[in-house]
Each structure stands twice: as structure tokens, then as C-alpha cells.
Chains A and B, each alone.
Chain A
Amino acid sequence: MASVSQVVTLPLPALPEGWAADKDFKAVGKLSGAVQRSIEPVGPHFLAHARRARHKRTFSEDDRIQAQESAKNVEDVDDGDESEPEDPMMLQSQAKDWKTQDHYKVLGLSKYRYKATEEQIKKAHRKKVLKHHPDKKAALGRAEDDQFFKCIQKATDILLDPIRRRQFDSVDEEADVEPPTKKQLQKGDFYKLWSKVFKSEARFSKTHPVPTFGDANATKEHVDEFYNFWYNFDSWRSFEYLDEDVPDDGESRDHKRHVERKNQNSRKKKKAEDNARLRKLLDDASAGDERIKRFRQEANAAKNKKKFEKEAAEKKAAEEAQAKKEAEEKAKADAEAAAKADREAGKKAKEAAKNAVKKNKRVLKSSVKDANYFTSGDASAAQIDAVLGDVELVQGKIDPDEIAALAGKLNGLTVADEIKGVWTAEVKRLVDAGKLKEGEAKTLV
């Protein structure tokens, strides 16, 4: 191979930092593979190649065969697959009846129909020509038998013209799949049966891919997409093929126009009928579609669930509010009761204290009485008055607790000196506290 030197203007990247390799070269991968092909043994460069190849040729005979066999074959092998059996009735068909003939069947392509590729049609045609050419018939001694051959030619003519093929495909009833009947639906799988119908209808779609019918477990999105697509189906189906023959221009012009108009109208009518048919098909399918029912139920269930949840939440909130209110009321009542009890208790305590003070006061007075008013012998009225007056003075100066304490100290004492001592201490304490002035309550000192 000659070294082809090309020049690239785009620059190479700069060496990244820290890149290092032994001898500045690093092998990273290997070639990902190769295909065995035959180069054409033609041209000066091949000659050079052959020379090189032959100089170090070590191939054994076996290798030669191997190489030959493994070379990727670019030529089509004429697949001798058995074509469809030919219906003897079909072989009798007349070329003039081409409008009614099934072109796919004539070419032995009934199992492909609208799916047949151009190559398949060409191959099928060739196969049929090889078999049915009038010269072949003549070889068998059947001259003038070219009707079926003409049918073959007509079929190929139509199927190889994309426009006329579409026209024929539009009215190719053999490719239609009848919608399933109720009986079939009872027995068979609903989705499988309808899938077939829509698969065959999909051939008319201008847009591809066409969404599939799906099965029982299809998602809601899938089903929605399917019905949306099909209710807005854009079909290329047309009905020119069924046109009445327009008379050749030799005859009356008016008549020709009349026929043309008639054809136009009937095409339109058929198209409208076809659209209606498809709509009905869809209505039927969707009416029986369990998935739609299921989705509706699910949607309803979801809606109900929401409603229920909302109600529950409301109820709960109401209950909580009620409880809160009750608790508040209870707390208030409790507080009131407690306050009342407190008040009553306070009253009792007060009275008790009052009684205690009275009692203690009595103790105080009786104590001085016990001490015989700190006199020996009978005490004069003036003395008694002075002592009681001082006792009252002291009593007035001290609070009930102190009275109680004083009463406690005095209680049980009968000896006049001891009583006197207590009182003296008391008066002294009071004087010290500044509650009594020096000189007051002299009788008790």
C-alpha cells in the first residue's frame, strides 16, 4: 500500500502535566476487530499487494479454502426458499381482470403483503418470470398461454410503483384483520385479538411508529397514548383503486367529466366511511377495554381516598378542639374550687388564730392573775388595773405568734417570780426591739 500522506491543520493537544511513559510511548488498547472481505484483484495497487502477499505466502491448500469460505459475501445468495404454492384457479386468471386480482398472491407474497420490501417484490417477480414466461410454456408445448404471465407483469407493475402500490394496499382486504366478535372475545385474549386488528390498521398511518395496543398490564400513559393517537389517526388510505374506468379522451368529454366527478365523490364517501369505521373500531375496543375501567376505578378510589382522608382530618381536628376546650374548662373549675377551699381554709385559720390569740391573751391575763398581780397579799384595784393595762399594752405591741410563744412560756407557770421573770424578759425584749419605750409597762418589770 502506498503511503498516503495527508496534512491535518487542526493542532495536536499539548502534553498534559505529569505524563510519562517508557520511551515516551504507552500502548493502551488493541484494535477492536476486523471483517474478512475480498479485495478486488484489479489495479496497480493490488498488484503490489499480491506481490507482497505472495512472497511470504505460507498458506496451505486448506487455508485457501478457509479464506474463501470466511470472506464476507457481499453477493446475495439467491435464497431458494420454497415459494408459496400456486392456486390452480389463480393460474387460470385473465389479464383483463387485473383489477380484481390479488397482486401479492400472484407474486407469491401473500404472507408479506404490505410488509413486502421492494427487493422482495423484485425477487418474487423474477422467480415468477423464470417459471411462467411464455417461452417456458412453449418449451412444454403449451403455446399461446401467456395470460398468467401478463397478470404477473401487471402485479409487478403496480407493486413497484410506490403510488399505485399504496392505492392497492388501501383496498387490500386480504391484509385487513376483522375486529373480533363477541364470541371470540369470550374465548380468546381480548388484548391479543385487538392488537392484531390495530397492527393491521397501523399500516395506513402517516406517522410512525404507531403506538401498540399493549396488554392487560399496560400503564395508563401507554393506554392514553394509544387512544389519543388512534382517535387522531392520520391515514394515507385512499380509494382511487376502486375508481370506475375513466373513458379514454376519444369519447365525449362530458361523459368523461361525469365519470371523473363520480369517482371523486365515491372516493370521498369511501374515505369518510373508512374514518367512521375506524372510529367505531376504536369505540368498540375502548368499550370492552378492561384497562380503562380499571384506571377509572383506580382514579375513583384515589379520589375517594383523598376525600376520606380529608374528612378524617377534619374530624380529628374537631375532636382535638373539643378536648382542649374541656381541659380548659376543667382547669378553670379546678382553680376556682381550689381558690374557694383556700378561702375557706384561710377563714378557718383566721378564726382559729383569733381564738388562739384570745386564748393566749387569756393565758397572759390569767398568768398575771396567777402571779397575784405581782403583789404580795391582796392586790389593790389600782394595781390590778395597772398590771392588766400593761399586759394589754404588751399584747397590743406583739403579734399573735409572739403572744402564742409568750403564752407557751407562761403556761403552766404558777410561781409569781417565774411569771414575773418571763414578763420582764418579754418587756426587755420589746424595749430592745424598740417596740416599747423605756419606762412603759413598769408594772411588769
Chain B
Amino acid sequence: MSESNGVKSAVEPGNRVAIGITFGNSNSSIAFTVDDKVEVIANEDGDRQIPTALSYVDGDEYYGTQAKAFLVRNPTNTIAYFRDFLGQEFKSIDPTHCHAAAHPQDASGAVSFTVKDKAGEEDAPSDISVSEAATRYLRRLVTAASEYLGRKVTSAVITVPTNFSEKQREALIKAASDADLEVLQLISDPIAAVLAYDARPEAKTEDKIIVVADLGGTRSDVAVVASRGGMYTILATAHDYEFAGVHLDQALMEYFAKEFIKKHTVDPRSNARSLAKLRLESEATKKALSLGTNAQFSVESLADGFDFSATLNRTRYEMVGRKVFEGFNRLVESVVKKAELDVLDVDEVIMCGGTSHTPRIATNFQSIFPESTVILAPATSTTAINPSELQARGAALQVSLIQEYEATDIEQSTHPAVTTVKHISNAIGVVTVNAEGEDVFTPIMQAETAVPARRTVHIAAAAEGGDVLIKVVEGGTHIKVTKPEPKARVEEVPEDEDDSDFEDEEEEEKREKIWKIGTPLAEAAIKGVSKGGKVEVTINVAGDLSVTVTAREVGGKGGVRGNLQAP
């Protein structure tokens, strides 16, 4: 995007080798596109999810899985979970997750880490600013990608959370350019995930409301996205730091620690190294339980020299993590509410981020949303894409779209003047007749569609043909709640508590989404439609909200055309 502050000049579009990067707080991913197919790159260690960690041992730099492993033996010289600190002041960062790694330090307002990154006993530890850490880490990612592709990677599209401030974005771009990486564009996490799904060859461009639940390691971000003809508008977001992957790890840690205490009467949490071992293995167990129904937890010399090994099944795990799972449910529900929508309005739920592998979360979401809503997660959909890779894929797709453009072109295209447009508040549609002979609203253009927009629809004329009326109206939805008839209570025993619980379950109310016809916009007539014929109606809303309605019989000539003035 921006090339200010002495950032190196742009790479010529012809010489670009560009990849998509997801730079996460816990894990990062890199991906590239070849012949419209996206591939997520595995690094030297064979990882596609590369832990966001750097570790220094005797002057050697390790990153990814190796660095993460050093959290046990070398925590003070290991930098982890630092992405969110980029561009932040020391007083506004949350260092909780760095507790078991190098602690962030206050470097006159900025954030830095003090680690020994040089060999030799006499060398004093050096201060590494967050920006420097990010640069070093990105450089490693770029190297991994370059080795894989056999060409030097020059540019990238990086995904960022929707609440990344302008300052954080600038800091990220600066860190990248320090790593000799040109940032073509920063795109938001949820949209990258949506794009990854929409770019599948079998995907159709539909008007739909998507909830993107990005459940990561240290934070959960949920966004409600309106997808309208392939254009995406974020309607609401929520960012949660209380319910995320680490909290599931935490729950498992508590559980295993208690088990360990039972056996050995030593608390493994009282010792930093034991705690780190416990954490690493808990995370591994959690991941294993996303795939299998049983997992082995085993650590050698967990505490006081005692080895520890235990088996955990998924049911028990789901009990242990119930609190966190419920937190996810509430989070998703609250965002839908924040977008002033109902769960019935949601057509798709895309689950991304590593925590989304957990089957329980997906099945919980299934119970929140109506059956018609598609939950795209490995546990609920066979066609789901690996949630950990979604965002990297999206970024790679965006790269393939924009890499031929000049940097200035990209910047101008993504400027708010282009991206900020009017979105119609009510759906536009026509009145049709249902089987009972009642007028019903049939949407043609959904609410929250960005203008200018055009939609075409084919509508059956009356069965015997003849003259038909096309009444263009605005429409709104409301949720109709029908409560089932309360059952006649059969000799209720007052003490029987279980009985009442049972009844609650039975009395589930039925909720439906109902369209209602709003303000009329225009009327048009098509005369002499042949028997069994169809009418094509095109609605074109211009940027100034003026509307053009075109209607004609499919296959017929002429037709009717009319304009509505801009309000």
C-alpha cells in the first residue's frame, strides 16, 4: 500500500515473485498461487503452520517449531507471541502470553525484548525491538518460501486482524520492507478466509451473509461479512482475548496438573520449566484430540524427575474445555446481534484459525445456527478447507490478482475513496404470488449490497400467460417466532426437578425468517406473455441510488424500461 517513510522503491511488476503471508500471533503461514491453484508452503521443518517464535542459542537463530521447543529449555532467549505488539506502545500491550518466553520490556515507550542473540559468554544481551523481531521472523519466512520456489521472493500480501490500527499497519509494512519484502497490500483476516472459499472452482457467486469465526491461539476474532456479488463488506466484528486456543490449553494443563498431583503430590505448575513442558504437551494433546477420539499425554520428567503419562478421550476433553467452548458460542452470537442480524440471516459460517479444528466448536455452532446454515469446518463439512491455511490461501489468491499492477495503481484502487460506497439498507425485489394466492416478496437485490450494482432474475409468469404486473418494492425481514402449544401438564409432582428440565426441552419455539413487503418503488406491465413463459427483471442501482428497472419476456423483444430518481 503505502511507500512512505523511506521504504525501498517498488519492485517492477514483471520481476515480482509474490506470496501470501499470514503473520499470526501464534502461528504464521505462507502460500503462493501457481496456475490459479493455491499451495501452502511447508518450511524446512515441513511445517505449514509455522509457530511465530524466534529463539537464540549460542548466537544461532532458530524459528518456528524449533524455536517453540526452546520455550522449555531456553525461555528467556525465546521471543514468542509478539505480532500484536507491533506498532504499540508499551503501556498498551498485554504481555500475558509472553510469560513463559522473553518478557517484553519498556524501551522508552516502545516494546522490546532483551535476549542474548550473540555467541560468547562476555557478550551482553541485546535489546531487540518488536519491529526488529518481526523483520527477522519475516525474513525467515521469506527465505523458506524462496527456497521452496527456487526464486527470491520480493513481494507479499499480508493478512492482518480487522482491528489493526493505522499505526500497527505502518509498523508491519516497515518491518516487512526491512526484511526486503514489498507489501503489495494488507488484507483483513476474515476476508482472506472468505476469498479462499469463494475462489474454489465449484463456488458460485451468491449473495450471502457469512460469519467468519477466526479462532486463533491467543485471540478470537469474529466478523459478519456481507458477500454481495463477490464484493465483501464487513458488517460487524468482535475481538476476544478471553476465549482462544491457549485457554483450551490452560484447561488441559489444569486437568493434567491435578492428575499429576494425585499421583506424585508435586504441582508441575510451580516450576517454570515443568509448566512449559506441561503447556507444550497439552497443546499437542489438544491437537491430537481434534483428529482422534483418544490422545496420549506423556512427558518425561515433568516435575521432580517423575515421568507422566495419561490418556485423555475426547468426551473428557470437551468437559474440561466446556467453559471455553461456551465462550465461543456466546462470542459468535453476540457478533451476529451486533450486526443487527439474526442467526437465521446467516448463510455460512467459515471457521478458520487453528482452534477451529476442534470438532466440538463446530458442532456447537451447528446447534446455534439453523440447519440451513453451512458450517465450514473439518468436523461438519467434508469439503471444508484446512482452517489453519485459509487465510494464507486468501492472501495468495489476492497476490495472484494484483501482482501485475504497479504499486501506485494498487494504492489508488484500495483507497477509501474507491472502497467507501453506499450500501442499500433494504432489499429490493418484486411481488410474486404464492400457492395460497397471497402476495409475497421475492428479493432480487439483498440489503447491504454495495452500489452500483445490478441483479437479474428470471420469474415465471402466471401459468396461463397473459398480462403480468411487475411490482418492484423494498422488502424487510422479521423473525417470526411460533411457540408450540404448551402441553397439558400431567399430574405434576412438585419435587420432581428433572421433570421440569425435560419439559423445557420439549417446548422449543420455532423461528422463521419472514419477508415483508415494504415501500413500493415502481410498477411495470408485460403484456401478452406466452403460456409457461418467463419474465426477466433486471434491477440496476447506480452509485447515486437511482434505480433502473428493465423487464422483458425471456426470449421476447422490446420490454419495459424505467428509471427511479435518486433520493
Residues of A within 8 A of B (CB): 1-16, 19, 21, 23-47, 49-54, 57, 59, 63-64, 67-68, 70-71, 74-76, 118-119, 122, 125-126, 129-131, 133, 135-136, 138-139, 156, 160-162, 250
Contacts and interface: CB of A to CB of B under 8 A. Distances in A.
Contacts of B5: none
A41 B401 contact: no
Nearest to A163: B323
Most chain B CB within a 10 A radius of its CB, from A59, A64, A122, A156: A122
B102 to A, nearest CB: 10
B452 A29 contact: no
A39 B233 contact: yes
A4 to B, nearest CB: 6
A15 B225 CA distance: 39
A97 to B, nearest CB: 20
A50 B405 CA distance: 13
Given A10-B442, A11-B461, A14-B467, A136 B451 contact: no
Contacts of A40: 187-188, 191, 225, 231-234, 419
A68 B462 contact: no
Given A67-B416, A139-B106, A12 B450 contact: no
B563 interface: yes
A34 B469 contact: no
A32 B235 contact: no
Contacts of B104: 135
Contacts of A1: 228-231, 450, 452-454
Interface string B73-98: 00000000000000000111111101
Interface string B182-200: 0001011001100100110
B280 to A, nearest CB: 21
Contacts of A25: 522-525, 549, 560-562
B470 A41 contact: no
Interface string B154-171: 000000001100000000
Interface string B497-518: 0000000000000000000001
A438 B216 CA distance: 157
A31 B420 contact: no
A29 to B, nearest CB: 5
A47 B415 contact: no
Interface residues of B, number: 125
Contact of B334 (A7, A71, A119): A119
B538 A71 contact: no
A39 B239 CA distance: 20
Contacts of A35: 422-423, 425, 448
Given A46-B231, A129-B94, A133-B94, A12 B523 contact: no
B229 A74 contact: no
B31 to A, nearest CB: 15
Nearest to B206: A4
Chain B residues touching A, majority SS? strand
A11 to B, nearest CB: 5
Given A42-B394, A129-B94, A6 B417 contact: no
Given A25-B561, A30-B567, A40-B191, A59 B92 contact: no
A14 B466 contact: yes
B566 A21 contact: no
Given A12-B433, A12-B469, A160-B327, A54 B519 contact: no
A41 B413 contact: yes
Contacts of B463: 11
Closest 6 CB pairs of A and B: A45-B230, A25-B562, A15-B467, A34-B422, A50-B413, A41-B414
Given A45-B229, A74-B235, A160-B242, A12 B474 contact: no
B124 interface: no
23 contacts: A2-B205, A10-B434, A10-B460, A15-B467, A24-B524, A24-B525, A25-B560, A29-B519, A30-B521, A33-B424, A33-B426, A33-B567, A34-B451, A34-B545, A42-B188, A42-B232, A43-B195, A43-B232, A45-B231, A50-B413, A63-B417, A131-B91, A250-B262
Contacts of A5: 456-458
A30 B450 CA distance: 17
Contacts of A118: 330, 334
A42 B242 contact: no
Contact of A41 (B419, B430, B545): B419
Contacts of A3: 454-456, 538
Contacts of A27: 521-522, 562-565
Contacts of B525: 15, 19, 21, 24-25
Nearest to A160: B242
Contact of B471 (A13, A33, A64, A130): A13
A12 B163 contact: no
B567 A31 contact: yes
Contacts of A64: 415-417
Nearest to A47: B401
Nearest to A249: B262
Contact of B433 (A6, A11, A26, A71): A11
B272 interface: no
Contacts of B442: 8, 10
